């Protein structure tokens, strides 16, 4: 019988990485890559430079502050699924031959849990400043090379995969609810598409507001979602707001974005000054007002972080427009990484971000 052909994924481990790992660990890395590529996780899981320029990767940082404002998912992951995080990150270190890996967060609770879990491992745990959007690559990566910043939910899903457990289905429900919390939708025994905002609000002991609206995905780029409309299967963040909240008023004004931009964009360029990717959202806003499509550069480089929306003095929500699927060039949000860190490093203190979005009342005590 003819020998089976080698799976194409085997060649994806570069000779550089194989040499670095040694033959035994290289075999384990190849097996792991095969498992990842055959799973439902996004493929490729890491940025292209990891494979295209082997040796460039200096570190993987798990960004514990990657969530939209008020999100509680990372702390819940650390408390209830910390071992999946640790195992997932160890697996990614092996699969990519990253010299250094670690968790970065400004949460004191998460830091405590992680330090306990990572004691006696090669995984670093680092405190970062509570700024928006977070930027562990700039704060922590002092070495030459490129950093891959990855979100914790992806890392925990890798951990679940190698532990042969079903994927996690966690959703942070925050804002105007009696008991903000992270719900485990899988454990509750109903498949995710059956969940509606009304049911999740009920599980948080109801809303603090008689009339409320759900934003699926969070304050800055989330979509208003009908109370009885089934949520997407990968929902991880639901923000409940009183129906008269200023953020919803700003969104209503965006229903006719062209009109809103034409009438209200001040051209102040504050959005561009705070863009962590050094993009020019003010130019895009002007282009959209003239019915021009988004530029290719913005489409590929915008992380959807929402800093431009936080800072806009005219109350516009540029980020919500840039991720709007109805625009001419819808975005596929890339996972953030910084082969060449952008020159701008202005960050918004998280308290200021919450204040500008009218969300201070919903923060932790």
> Segment near ligand SF4 (CB under 6 A), from 37-45, 95-103, 113-121, 305-313?
305-313
Among 137, 319, 321, 357, binds ligand SF4 (CB under 6 A): 319
CB 92 within 8 A of CB 101: yes
Counting residues that bind ligand SF4 (by CB under 6 A) gives 28
Report the residue number, 33 or 282, with the smaller CB distance to ligand SF4.
282
Q: Which of 97, 318, 337, 348 binds ligand SF4 (CB under 6 A)?
A: 318
Q: Which one of 177, 182, 302, 359 is in contact with ligand SF4 (CB under 6 A)?
A: 302
Residue 45 or 353: the one with the smaller Cβ distance to ligand SF4 is 353
Q: How far apart are CA 123 and CA 263, in angstroms?
A: 51
> What is the C-alpha to C-alpha distance for residues 301 and 205, in angstroms, rounded to an integer?
40
In sequence order, the β-bridge partners of residue 60 are: 101, 148
In contact, 318 and 312? CB cutoff 8 Å: yes
Distance CA 60, CA 136 (A): 10
Please report whether residue 305 would count as binding ligand SF4 according to CB under 6 A. Answer: yes
CA dihedral 84→137→277→152, nearest 10 degrees, is 10
Helix (H) or strand (E) run with residue 240 in it: strand 237-242
Q: Which is nearer to ligand SF4, 159 or 306 (CB)?
A: 306
Cβ closer to ligand SF4: 26 or 285?
A: 285
**321 near ligand SF4, judged by CB under 6 A:** no
* CB contact at 8 A, 58 and 97: no
Question: How far apart, in whole angstroms, are the C-alpha atoms of residue 31 and residue 53?
Answer: 21
Q: Please state, in angstroms and as integers, the Cα–Cα distance from residue 308 to each residue in 221, 293, 341, following that order.
A: 11, 18, 19
Report if residue 98 touches ligand SF4, rule: CB under 6 A: no
Please, what is the end-to-end C-alpha distance for the chain in angstroms? 68
Interface with ligand SF4 in residues 214-273 (CB under 6 A): 265-271
Question: Of 159 and 257, which CB lies nearer to ligand SF4 in the complex structure?
Answer: 257
Determine how β-strand 146-150 pairs with β-strand 131-132.
Answer: unpaired
Query: Exactly one of 275, 288, 350, 354 binds ligand SF4 (CB under 6 A); which one?
Result: 275
User: Least distance to ligand SF4 from the beta carbon of 53, Å?
Assistant: 23
Three-state DSSP state, 248: helix
> Least CB distance from residue 314 to ligand SF4, whole Å?
4
Q: Which of 306, 338, 359, 362 binds ligand SF4 (CB under 6 A)?
A: 306
Q: State in angstroms the smallest separation of the CB of 264 from ligand SF4.
A: 7
- Tell whether residue 91 is a contact of ligand SF4 (CB under 6 A): no
Kindly state the smallest distance separating residue 185's Cβ from ligand SF4, in Å. Answer: 27
**318 within 8 A of 308, measured Cβ to Cβ:** yes
Verify binding: residue 45, ligand SF4, rule CB under 6 A: no
Sequence-ordered list of residues with C-beta below 8 angstroms from that of 222, at least 6 positions apart, any chain:
68, 215, 216, 237, 239
Contact residues toward ligand SF4 (CB under 6 A) are: 265-271, 275, 277, 279, 281-282, 285, 302-308, 311-314, 316, 318-319, 322
């Amino acid at each position: 019988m003819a020998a089976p052909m080698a799976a194409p994924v085997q060649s994806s481990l570069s000779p550089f990485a194989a040499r670095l790992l040694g033959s035994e660990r290289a075999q384990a890395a190849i097996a792991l890559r095969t498992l990842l590529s055959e799973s439902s996780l996004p493929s490729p899981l890491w940025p292209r430079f990891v494979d295209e320029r082997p040796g460039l990767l200096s570190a993987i940082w798990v960004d514990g502050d990657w969530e939209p404002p008020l999100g509680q998912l990372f702390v819940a992951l650390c408390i209830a699924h910390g071992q999946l995080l640790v195992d997932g990150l160890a697996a990614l270190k092996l699969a990519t031959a990253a010299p250094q890996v670690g968790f970065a967060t400004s949460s004191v609770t998460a830091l405590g849990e992680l330090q306990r879990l990572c004691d006696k491992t090669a995984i670093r745990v680092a405190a970062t400043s509570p700024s928006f959007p977070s930027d562990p690559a700039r704060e922590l990566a002092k070495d030459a090379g490129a950093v891959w910043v990855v979100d914790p939910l992806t890392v925990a899903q890798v951990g679940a995969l190698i532990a042969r457990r079903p994927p996690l289905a966690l959703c942070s429900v925050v804002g105007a609810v009696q008991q903000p919390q992270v719900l485990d939708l899988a454990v509750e025994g109903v498949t995710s598409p059956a969940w509606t905002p009304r049911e999740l609000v009920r599980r948080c002991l109801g809303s603090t507001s008689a009339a409320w609206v759900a934003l699926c995905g969070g304050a800055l780029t989330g979509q208003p979602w009908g109370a009885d409309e089934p949520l997407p299967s990968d929902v991880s963040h639901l923000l409940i707001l009183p129906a008269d909240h200023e953020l919803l008023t700003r969104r209503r004004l965006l229903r006719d974005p062209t009109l809103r931009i034409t009438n209200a964009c001040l051209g102040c360029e504050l959005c561009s000054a705070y863009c962590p990717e050094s993009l020019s959202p003010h130019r895009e806003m002007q282009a959209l007002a003239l019915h021009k499509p988004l530029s290719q550069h913005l489409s590929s480089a915008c992380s959807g972080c929402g800093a431009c929306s936080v800072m806009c003095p005219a109350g516009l929500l540029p980020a919500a427009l840039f991720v709007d699927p109805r625009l001419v060039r819808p975005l596929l949000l890339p996972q953030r990484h910084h082969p060449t860190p952008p020159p701008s490093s202005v960050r918004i203190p998280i308290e200021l971000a919450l204040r500008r979005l009218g969300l201070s009342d919903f923060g932790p005590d």
